[in-house]
Chains A and B, each alone.
Chain A
Amino acid sequence: MPQFVQSSPSSSRTARRTGNIALQMAVVVIVGGLAYAAIHNAAQNLANAHITSGFGFWNNTAGFDISQTLIDYSPSTSTFGRAFWVGLLNTLLVGALGIVLATVLGFSIGIARLSRNWLVAHLAGGYVELIRNVPLLLQLLFWYNAVLKSLPQLQGSVALPGGGLLNNRGLFLPRPEFAASFRYGLIALVVGVGAAVVLHVWSRRRRDQTGEPTPIFWPALGLVLGIPLVFVLLTDIPIRFDYPQAGRFNVMGGIEILPEFAALLLALTIYTAAFIAEAVRAGVLAVPHGQTEAAQALGLRSGTTLRFVVVPQAMRVIIPPLTSQYLNLIKNSSLAVAIGYPDLVQVFTGSVLNLTGQAVEVVAVTMAVYLCISLVTSLLMNLYGYALAVEER
């Protein structure tokens, strides 16, 4: 009889566990050692270069100018901390606007790609292929240097209909100036929106109870626009516009939209829209054709099929890639540094880092901010995803 030698399972498990623990210890020691060496070297190098550490610089006067500020900022009195907030707000502004515009454009292109119309589908496909395969930075430089910077000079400004001015220093739009009574106009608008929401909830409930659709688009639009309009007509018009005027050296008045901002927004929107379009197309194609056929067999029209059968199911597939595109857009907005739009990276990792020399603190803060923005965005999108999730019965 051959004897099978078998090591007892318990002893091999103990050996494995010991190995595991040894491996973990080794990893901790290696990583810890590297971290210690890095910190030790950094401290020594910083001391050699006479650079202080810590966040003491946060309250020092910044002393440099920023071309676009959403909050009050002056180079002579504001601090580095204030400059940080200015940069962060500029990043958030371009990120938020970019997300809205890219979503609108991306959904349109994605739907156009699915069109039965050969020409429409292929034009949209050409757009996606062209934009996706050219680096964003190249597109950004193209919009900024080749398009916006080659607009006419100040003297030859293009007058836009409605009182705007366009030249190579930016786009200047009339600024509405509100009289005191305008406050009531805003209240009227809020009342209108509130009434429309109530109407919507009522129509939903009625539809769920009786199964009869109650179209409310036009009444709701009437409420939202009508109430403020009636108010505006009853009182005298409480809005005056401050029109931009081309002066000798500068444009006076109006709202100024920097060419850097316009180029960044344009490039981010166009680039991200191509990726969103692909996500939308994939999401719609992921809904089995049987769903459409079943809806048609029930007698739903094509519009209704789309709205109540295809889109809700497609959205569930679209949300995760859409989230990562939003995150990409926000991260890509840091390319602003290449054309000098004062976003967080340009202001903080650029100017503040150069002035203070405190690379570790500045880069760490910048990265932490992007991590926070990423986390909050994915949290919001996950919440939206949960709201759309299938209700299992």
Chain B
Amino acid sequence: MAALADKSYLRTAPSERLPRPAERAGMLRWARENLFPSPGNIVLTLICILFICWAAPPLVRFFLLDAVWSGNDREACLASPTNPDPGACWAFVRVWFSYFVYGFYPIVERWRVDVFFVALAFGIGWLAWLSAPRRDVGAVYFFIVLPILSYVLLSGTPLLGLAGVTTALWGGILVTIVVATVGIVVSLPLGILLALGRRSDIPVVRLFTVTFIEFVRGVPLITVLFMASVMLPLFVPERLSPDKLVRALIGVALFASAYMAEVVRGGLAAIPRGQYEAAQALGLPNWRMMALVILPQALRVTLPNIVNTFIGLFKDTTLVFVVGIFDFLRTIEAARADPHWTTPVTSVSGYAIAALFYFICCYGMSRYARNVETRLMRR
């Protein structure tokens, strides 16, 4: 013991007490850690606060406080003694609202559109809720029953007493939803087929699918839509020439399929080889192995990516605008030009409502994709 006592590194006295740790919780502590950790960050935080103070109040004033909520024509939204600096013209949106939803769809027949919306929402809910009962029946409903039902309802079937409504009268959110729905209903099965074709060991099939996928992914959607709208009528006999909306739908569906194929291919690549080998060892023929073992897993893994592709597709539906189809954005553009409502704030109000609609839909889908992703990670 005595030999150790002269070692200089041994303590002879108890160490000083450390100060009590600073508060671990509380507003101030949080602010110090997240807003003011260093001089540089203090400057950044101050700049951000100044920016918010500069940008937020005018926005709130424009969209809420000074906004005009009711009125029958442009007079309501022009500067007046009572409202010298008018904000957004929500009166304009209210007056045009039914046009934004249905386009020129005949007023007495609009219940059919409402039924379509409800049926669609039901199908989406069934498929999106991962622990819903009988999702296989849900898939049959969504991919087979719903399209037939929608066609019968929307374009009319005189046999059932539903008057025909030409697609030229369709418009607004109805068309946006129809384009997006046809896109997903066609592109998912077609994308799966293309993805399987691309992985097939038959050279000709692989060649055709790879060419198609890479070609479509290499060109802008607008050129595909132009091709569908000006070239498609050339390629079929004149009497079979499809309707304008149908042409755009074909363009969108083919375009979406190529992107969906790549997403599905990613899912297929994520399935371990053992799964294929196990299925083969059980003696399953090729297509049953795919249908019963591989695809269910691949689609599950890649569901977040499928939803993300669908978000892109939903945003891309606005492009049918360019080939003269009255989707939601186009109805806004048409209403904006109405001389009864020409004011300096009409355009901004119309675009704001469109942005809100697309934002809610897309943000909702992306939150859903993220939730599925965390669920998959946990498993």
Contacts and interface: CB of A to CB of B under 8 A. Distances in A.
A93 to B, nearest CB: 17
Contact of B205 (A23, A45, A132, A360): A23
A101 interface: no
B368 interface: no
A117 B34 contact: yes
B208 A363 contact: no
Interface in B166-205: 202-205
Interface in A115-160: 115-120, 123, 129-130, 132-138, 141-142, 145-146, 150
Given A118-B34, A335-B222, A375-B218, A133 B358 contact: yes
B26 interface: no
A69 interface: no
A359 B41 CA distance: 58
Given A23-B202, A45-B234, A363-B227, A331 B219 contact: yes
Interface stretch (A54-62, A305-313, A366-374): A366-374
The A contact surface, by secondary structure, is helix
A24 interface: yes
B358 A41 contact: no
Contact of A134 (B35, B203, B316, B358): B358
A367 B358 contact: no
Contacts of B227: 363, 367
A24 B363 contact: no
Nearest to B236: A41
Nearest to A20: B202
B351 A141 contact: yes
B233 A45 contact: yes
B45 A41 contact: no
B325 to A, nearest CB: 13
A367 B204 contact: no
Given A27-B204, A138-B351, A371-B219, A353 B319 contact: no
A116 B41 contact: yes
Contact of B234 (A134, A145, A360): A360
Given A331-B219, A353-B230, A359-B230, A137 B45 contact: no
Interface in B266-286: none
Q: Which of B226, B329, B354 has the most CB atoms of chain A within a 10 A radius of its CB?
A: B226
Contacts, number: 150
A300 B224 CA distance: 52
Contacts of B51: 123
Contact of B220 (A44, A115, A130, A332): A332
A137 B318 contact: yes
A241 B237 CA distance: 61
A34 to B, nearest CB: 9
A360 B319 CA distance: 21
Nearest to A368: B219
B366 A363 contact: no
B347 A145 contact: yes
A38 interface: yes
Nearest to B204: A24
Interface residues of B, number: 53
Nearest to B214: A371
A363 B233 contact: no
B355 A138 contact: yes
A174 B9 CA distance: 75
Contacts of B235: 37-38, 41-42
B74 interface: no
A137 B318 CA distance: 7
Contacts of A20: 202
Contacts of A117: 34-35, 37, 41, 44-45, 48
A388 interface: no
A363 B44 contact: no
B324 to A, nearest CB: 12
Contacts of A38: 235-236
Given A138-B354, A331-B219, A133 B362 contact: yes
A262 interface: no
Contacts of B215: 367, 371
B163 interface: no
Nearest to A23: B202
Contacts of B344: 150
Contacts of A338: 321-322
B231 A363 contact: yes
B223 A134 contact: no
A41 B237 contact: yes
B44 A120 contact: yes
Contacts of B203: 24
Given A41-B236, A117-B34, A133-B362, A142 B219 contact: no
B355 A134 contact: yes
Interface string A367-390: 100110011000000000000000
Contact of A370 (B44, B223, B366): B223
B129 interface: no
B223 A137 contact: no
Interface string A17-43: 000100110011001000001100110
A363 B220 CA distance: 12
B359 interface: yes
B230 A146 contact: no
A297 B311 CA distance: 44
10 contacts: A27-B208, A46-B234, A116-B34, A117-B37, A119-B48, A134-B359, A331-B221, A334-B222, A338-B321, A367-B219
List the 8 closest pairs (A to B, CB-CB), nearest first. A118-B34, A133-B362, A331-B220, A38-B235, A135-B315, A334-B220, A359-B230, A24-B204
Interface of A: 20, 23-24, 27-28, 31, 37-38, 41-42, 44-46, 48, 115-120, 123, 129-130, 132-138, 141-142, 145-146, 150, 327, 331-332, 334-335, 337-338, 345, 349, 353, 359-360, 363, 366-367, 370-371, 374-375
